[in-house]
């Protein structure tokens, strides 16, 4: 409790009310005080005097200890000590047979011995009314003592203490808690106003109390987690709540099956969340409660969720054997474990789900690289879970050469770039070589070559692997460029070509030039036909397309 004391030069307070009662014959007694103001427990000098000139007997009547310091014919000086409370003093005088008196009332003042703000609750909910209590012990005069409540430096409420107040006294005021109050300091202060007696206002301040406020929504935290957890996996579990204050003070705890999970908490604005990674071990298999507990102030919020933890291994799919020669028998078998059922196996006969399904087949070349799929189902908490397994069958068979992969007839244009494509099927992959029948000259496959006349002839292409070999004859014709003529063109194609040439060579609109094309030469170039026509003054190249035939038209100077 802080106190503002008066300056030493100023005594405190004494209120004096003197009543002089004259005696018969006009003799009077008066009372004079050495001090005009007096603190509690102080000493006071009192002078009693009388106008009586003969036979005077003076005295002072008081409850306090007194000592006569001096006296004269018609006066006496007394000192009173240890004055503790308001009291009346009376000087009396006997002048002969006549008695007279004078009295004064002294009123002492004191600072409060105790000014204390009652401890605040650890937390106060936002929107609830908080009662502030200030305890004041001592302090006088009460009629000039008041109490002021503060939030920080802001005055909240002031109240004057009544004269009849008991001691200790409790002064109260009410505050509506808000988020703005969080972390605010509250205090109370007494003010002893002695300005009417020519002094100042003396202050006594209590120690400050800090208030913490909180706000919680009426909802429970939210739990984000799958209802089903598989043994051997890691699952993320999240618990959060929005709309609380202060989020930084909130604590979130996650529990699974009564065991606390290691979690990381974060807060942003009015939202707080906790995240945990659950290592799903075989020991956890079964049904467990996932629990989230939020603690803020003296309040708890809880949320629970039932988790079903299960073991479910993929089905075992076997091909016996997984690599066979063409024509061999293969057994395809799928097995499910841990209460699961096989619900589907590729190409297996229809049937009810069971722990094991199998069938056999005779492997053919078409079965090479064939993919078999098995699906198993497990029911957990009313939900059907599926897991799949696949296996690939490898069938060994000899080489195949067919028209699609290795055509029998090829026509190449002399001087062009061409690639002989002759590919064989087979497992293992066959090696293909092509040699000319006449002289055994090799013609590489899959390689770009420049076509010459000498390449023409009939070739024998042979595909070889560890499972056999096969041959196929391929005829290669080399087409040369004739000097004149345009072979293989129908009358309709030639007519269309000439019409196109005419449109190309016609002069633009408004021109006086009249040019007429004339066929100079045409050469058959493989699948293309090049037509040379003569017009005056220009040489150009044009491309024409008639159905599947592409024509390059060259215009040259006649």
Listing DSSP states for 136-169 in one string gives EEEEE-GGGEEEEEEETTEEEEEEEPPTT--SSE
Q: How confident is the model at residue 10 (pLDDT cuts 50, 70, 90)?
A: very low
User: What fold characterizes domain 110-214?
Assistant: Immunoglobulin-like (2.60.40)
User: To the nearest whole number, what is the mean pLDDT of the chain?
Assistant: 84
Say if residues 148 and 178 touch (Cβ distance below 8 Å).
Answer: no
Tell me which of 2.30.30.30, 3.50.50.60, 3.30.300.30, 2.60.40.10 is the CATH number of domain 401-479: 2.60.40.10
Torsion over CA: 150, 153, 156, 159 (sign): positive
CA distances, 181 to each of 95, 297, 310, 417, 530 (Å): 73, 15, 50, 90, 96
Give the gyration radius of the chain's Cα atoms: 60
How far apart are alpha carbons 105 and 19 in whole angstroms?
9
For residues 360-377, one letter each, b for 16 or more C-beta atoms within 10 angstroms of the residue's C-beta and e for the rest, the string is ebebeeebbebebebbbb
Q: How many CB atoms lie within 10 A of CB 116?
A: 18
What is the per-residue pLDDT across 491-510, written as a single tens digit (0 to 9) for each? 565 566 666 655 555 555 55
Higher pLDDT, 85 or 273: 273
Say if residues 377 and 337 touch (Cβ distance below 8 Å).
Answer: no
- Strands 129-140 and 431-436 come out as unpaired
How far apart are alpha carbons 72 and 85 in whole angstroms?
30
How far apart are alpha carbons 499 and 510 in whole angstroms?
21
How far apart are alpha carbons 26 and 520 in whole angstroms?
172
Residue 2 burial by CB count (10 A; 0-12/13-18/19+): exposed, middle or buried?
Answer: exposed
CATH architecture of 2-106: Sandwich (2.60)
Integer distance in angstroms from the first to the last C-alpha of the chain?
A: 124
Which three-class secondary structure state does DSSP give residue 122? coil
pTM: 0.60
CATH architecture of 316-396: Sandwich (2.60)
Say if residues 203 and 114 touch (Cβ distance below 8 Å).
Answer: no
Which pLDDT score is estimated for 15? 37
Which three-class secondary structure state does DSSP give residue 350? coil
How far apart are alpha carbons 349 and 162 in whole angstroms?
103
What is the per-residue pLDDT across 277-326, written as a single tens digit (0 to 9) for each? 999 999 999 999 999 999 999 999 999 999 999 999 999 999 999 999 99
Which pLDDT score is estimated for 289? 96
Which pLDDT score is estimated for 288? 95
CA distances, 45 to each of 10, 77, 146, 224, 479 (Å): 17, 7, 31, 85, 151
Residues in the chain, total: 558
User: Given its phi and psi angles, is residue 286 left (phi above 0), alpha (psi -120 to 50 degrees) or beta?
Assistant: left
Q: How many CB atoms lie within 10 A of CB 75?
A: 17
How far apart are alpha carbons 404 and 396 in whole angstroms?
21
Say if residues 388 and 425 touch (Cβ distance below 8 Å).
Answer: no
Which pLDDT score is estimated for 108? 85
Q: Is the pLDDT of residue 544 over 60?
A: no
Residues of the chain with CATH 2.60.40.10: 2-106, 110-214, 222-310, 316-396, 401-479
- Residues pairing with 331 in the sheet: 320, 360
Say if residues 322 and 333 touch (Cβ distance below 8 Å).
Answer: no
What is the per-residue pLDDT across 179-235, written as a single tens digit (0 to 9) for each? 999 999 999 999 999 888 778 899 999 999 999 999 999 999 999 999 999 999 999
May I ask the CATH class of domain 222-310?
Answer: mainly beta
Beta strands in 431-517 (DSSP E): 431-436, 448-450, 457-465, 468-479
Q: Is the pLDDT of residue 520 over 50?
A: no
């Amino acid at each position: 409790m802080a106190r503002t004391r008066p300056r030493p030069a100023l005594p405190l307070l004494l209120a004096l009310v003197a009543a002089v009662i004259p005696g018969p014959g006009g003799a009077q007694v008066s009372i004079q005080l050495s001090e005009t103001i007096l603190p509690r427990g102080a000493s006071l000098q009192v002078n009693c005097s009388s106008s009586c000139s003969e036979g005077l007997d003076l005295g002072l009547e008081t409850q306090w200890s007194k000592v006569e310091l001096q006296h004269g014919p018609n006066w006496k000086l007394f000192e009173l000590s240890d004055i503790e409370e308001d009291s009346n003093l009376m000087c009396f005088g006997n002048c002969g047979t006549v008695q007279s008196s004078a009295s004064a009332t002294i009123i002492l003042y004191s600072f409060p011995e105790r000014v204390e703000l009652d401890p605040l609750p650890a937390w106060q909910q936002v929107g609830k009314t908080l009662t502030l209590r200030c305890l004041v012990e001592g302090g006088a005069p009460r009629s000039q003592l008041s109490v002021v409540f503060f939030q920080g430096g802001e005055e909240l409420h002031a109240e004057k203490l009544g004269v009849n107040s008991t001691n200790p006294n409790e002064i109260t005021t009410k505050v509506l808690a808000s988020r703005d109050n969080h972390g605010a300091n509250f205090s109370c202060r007494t003010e002893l106003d002695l300005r009417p007696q020519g002094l100042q206002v003396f202050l006594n301040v209590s120690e400050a109390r800090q208030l913490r406020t909180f706000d919680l929504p009426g909802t429970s935290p939210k739990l984000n987690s799958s209802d089903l957890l598989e043994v051997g996996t890691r699952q993320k579990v999240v618990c959060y709540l929005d709309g609380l204050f202060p989020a930084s003070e909130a604590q979130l705890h996650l529990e699974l099956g009564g065991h606390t999970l290691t979690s990381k908490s974060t807060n942003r604005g009015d939202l707080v969340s906790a995240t945990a990674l659950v290592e799903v071990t075989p020991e956890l298999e079964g049904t467990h409660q996932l629990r989230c507990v939020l603690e803020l102030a003296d309040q708890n919020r809880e949320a629970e969720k039932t988790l079903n933890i299960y073991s479910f291994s993929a089905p075992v799919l076997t091909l016996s054997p997984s690599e066979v020669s063409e024509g061999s028998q293969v057994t395809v078998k799928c097995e499910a474990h841990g209460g699961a059922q096989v619900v589907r196996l590729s190409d297996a006969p229809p049937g009810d789900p069971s722990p094991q399904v199998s069938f056999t087949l005779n492997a053919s070349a078409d079965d090479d690289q064939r993919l078999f799929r098995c699906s198993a189902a497990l029911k957990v908490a009313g939900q059907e879970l599926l897991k799949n397994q696949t296996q690939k069958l490898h069938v060994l068979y000899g080489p195949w050469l067919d028209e699609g992969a290795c055509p029998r007839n090829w026509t190449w244009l002399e001087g062009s770039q061409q690639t002989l494509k002759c590919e064989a099927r087979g497992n293992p992959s066959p090696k293909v070589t092509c040699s000319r029948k006449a002289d055994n000259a090799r013609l590489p496959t899959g390689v770009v070559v420049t076509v010459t006349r000498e390449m023409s002839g009939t070739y024998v292409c042979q595909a070889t692997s560890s499972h056999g070999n096969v041959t196929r004859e391929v005829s290669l014709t080399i087409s040369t460029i004739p000097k004149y003529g345009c072979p293989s063109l129908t009358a309709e194609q030639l007519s269309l070509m000439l019409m196109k040439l005419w449109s190309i060579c016609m002069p633009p609109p408004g021109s006086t030039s009249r040019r007429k094309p004339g066929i100079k030469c045409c050469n058959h170039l493989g699948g293309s036909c090049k037509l040379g026509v003569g017009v005056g003054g220009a040489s150009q190249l044009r491309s024409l397309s008639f159905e599947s035939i592409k024509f390059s038209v060259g215009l040259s100077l006649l």
